[in-house]
């Protein structure tokens, strides 16, 4: 009887201790939980999330399905593709090898890949890191592995532009970095990632190029419940669970793998707004002050937002793309800062994309106004990104006239946004109307003088 009483007392003490500690640790946790669970109920977030503040994890949660079947629930051990964030591994690998004296960023890639045509003598490794190589784009939808991609590169007779003269985000630049790492180390890129990058960061569950046979891999699916194929145009795409994702972020912040000088190199863009080897970020006084990178692969999306001076990191992984991770991260950051924030909203594009396939621009705008009147808070109509994203979808479908209509309307709704006019300028340019494109790019620069994309296009069009 005494033992039973003592056990009950211990359980009660433990209960009170947990509640007290929870309340004292961070009251924001409850608000974060409510916010993200509401997003999941709305169908706008299915995935894993981790939030750290002052260098300590204050919230982590797995929300939803591991695949298209509701009964298969996500856990924090599930690994997700992180899309373009995987490109950090080859960029960091290149800098590791430079610090070891095994390469120089000024080296022509022909030194390591002599089988490539003569143009490889003009391309430096640094050009690959900054996406300024001039190597033609990889047709990744058709490529069938490393050997096939190399064969296609051997058939290229000329570069698209002089290396270092222009920025073009290019998968071939990524592929060539990985091939150089393999040539220098004598290891497959996948083994190099596992042994030389993941292991030193304490990452034990990371997996490169997972297959359907691998356990604990979240499978991406669309809003119609169709599961993505696990497809890789070439090797080297790393999948991480949420805890290993955090270990990687912290490894970058603490210079566990490469020095501050090497990290600075990977955060140096070709021009404002250009992607770098680490996506984007900033250093001051030899310290990282921000690191932001997003990635998409099919219906996988991931986002890393880290601010080391405050110890704040927001990590989001989803296997059901809604194109809203940046919005969610901004809301989480506002919550952490004690600032007002809007509720998480649904993606207008993701919800109505199939309808857009049958609509012209005027019909898309009519639908926009109808939904805005009926559900004004569900889709974030107060943000320019809503129609901007829709316009770029139409551009991607080779419908520039419809895209112009959408971007024109967006510019009227947000007349002080340089970005809105920049997008409108791009649509006119893609339509072939260079006079209108110059007019809109010039307006974008008046509103946002530092807008690099508009600066480049104005200079080009004025010639």
What is the average pLDDT score of the chain?
Answer: 92
Average pLDDT over residues 344-348: 83
Average pLDDT over residues 235-261: 98
Would you state the pLDDT for residue 5?
35
**Selected residue with higher pLDDT from 347 and 243:** 243
> Left if phi > 0, otherwise alpha if psi is -120 to 50, otherwise beta: which for 59?
beta
| Closest to 86 in 3D by CA, of 305, 243, 236 | 236
Q: What is the DSSP string of 192-205?
A: HIIIIIIGGGT--S
Would you state the pLDDT for residue 42?
87
* Sequence-distant (≥ 6) Cβ neighbours of residue 371 within 8 angstroms: 348, 352, 378, 379
- Among the residue ranges 21-35, 102-116, 302-316, 364-378, the one predicted with the least confidence is 21-35
Whether 348-462 and 83-336 are alike in CATH topology: the answer is no
Alpha-carbon span 367 to 282, nearest angstrom: 41
Cβ proximity of 343 and 380 under 8 Å: no
| Closest to 359 in 3D by CA, of 390, 322, 338 | 390
- Among the residue ranges 140-154, 158-172, 337-351, 416-430, the one predicted with the least confidence is 337-351
Average pLDDT over residues 47-59: 97
Tokens standing for 47? 């995935």
> Left if phi > 0, otherwise alpha if psi is -120 to 50, otherwise beta: which for 380?
left
Rg of the Cα atoms in the chain: 24
Average pLDDT over residues 262-269: 96
- Among the residue ranges 56-65, 170-179, 434-443, 447-456, the one predicted with the least confidence is 447-456
Maximum CA pair distance of the chain?
A: 93
Would you state the pLDDT for residue 444?
95
pLDDT at 421 over 80: yes
| Closest to 29 in 3D by CA, of 54, 55, 51 | 51
- Among the residue ranges 8-22, 129-143, 175-189, 244-258, the one predicted with the least confidence is 8-22
**CATH number for region 83-336:** 3.40.710.10
Alpha-carbon span 329 to 277, nearest angstrom: 22
Alpha-carbon span 215 to 437, nearest angstrom: 50
pLDDT at 12 over 50: no
Coil/strand/helix, residue 18: helix
> Left if phi > 0, otherwise alpha if psi is -120 to 50, otherwise beta: which for 134?
left
Average pLDDT over residues 73-101: 98
pLDDT at 17 over 80: no
Domain range annotation of the chain: 83-336, 348-462
CATH 3.30.465.10 fits 348-462, yes or no: no
DSSP H/E element including 379: none
């Amino acid at each position: 009887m005494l033992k039973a009483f003592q056990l009950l007392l211990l359980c009660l003490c433990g209960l009170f201790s947990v509640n007290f500690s929870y309340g004292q640790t961070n009251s924001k946790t409850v608000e974060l939980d409510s916010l993200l669970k509401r997003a999941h109920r709305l169908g706008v977030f299915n995935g894993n999330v981790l939030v750290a503040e002052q260098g300590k994890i204050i919230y982590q949660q797995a929300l939803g399905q591991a695949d298209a079947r509701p009964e298969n629930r996500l856990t924090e051990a599930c690994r997700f593709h992180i899309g373009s964030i995987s490109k950090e591994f080859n960029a960091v690998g290149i800098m590791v090898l430079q610090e070891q004296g095994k390469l120089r960023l000024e080296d022509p890639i022909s030194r390591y890949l002599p089988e490539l045509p003569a143009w490889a003598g003009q391309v430096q490794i640094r050009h690959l890191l900054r996406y300024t190589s001039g190597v033609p784009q990889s047709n990744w939808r058709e490529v069938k592995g490393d050997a096939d991609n190399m064969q296609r590169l051997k058939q290229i007779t000329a570069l698209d532009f002089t290396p270092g003269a222009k920025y073009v985000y290019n998968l071939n630049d990524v592929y060539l970095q990985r091939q150089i790492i393999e040539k220098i180390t004598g290891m497959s890129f996948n083994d190099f990632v596992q042994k030389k990058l993941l292991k030193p960061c304490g990452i034990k569950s990371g997996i490169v190029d997972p297959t359907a046979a691998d356990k604990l891999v979240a499978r991406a699916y669309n809003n119609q419940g169709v599961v993505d194929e696990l497809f890789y145009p070439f090797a080297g795409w790393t999948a991480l669970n949420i805890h290993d994702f955090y270990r990687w972020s912290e490894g970058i912040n603490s210079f566990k793998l490469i020095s501050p000088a090497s990290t600075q190199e990977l955060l140096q863009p070709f021009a404002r707004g250009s992607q770098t080897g680490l996506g984007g970020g900033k250093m001051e006084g030899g310290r990282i002050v921000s690191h932001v990178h997003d990635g998409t692969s099919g219906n996988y999306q991931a986002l890393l937002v880290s601010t080391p001076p405050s110890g704040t990191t927001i990590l989001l992984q989803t296997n059901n793309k809604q194109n809203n991770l940046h919005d969610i991260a901004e809301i989480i950051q506002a919550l952490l800062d004690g600032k007002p924030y809007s509720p998480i909203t649904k993606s207008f594009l993701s919800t109505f994309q199939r309808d857009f396939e049958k609509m012209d621009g005027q019909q898309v705008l009519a639908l926009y106004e109808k939904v805005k009147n009926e559900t004004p808070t569900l889709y974030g109509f107060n943000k320019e990104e809503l129609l901007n994203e829709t316009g770029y979808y139409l551009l991607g479908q080779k419908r520039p006239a419809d895209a112009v209509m959408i971007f024109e309307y967006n510019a009227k709704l947000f007349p002080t946004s340089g970005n809105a006019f920049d997008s409108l300028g791009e649509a006119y340019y893609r339509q072939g109307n260079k006079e209108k494109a110059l007019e809109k790019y010039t307006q974008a620069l008046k509103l946002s003088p530092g807008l690099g994309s508009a600066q480049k296009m104005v200079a080009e069009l004025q010639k």
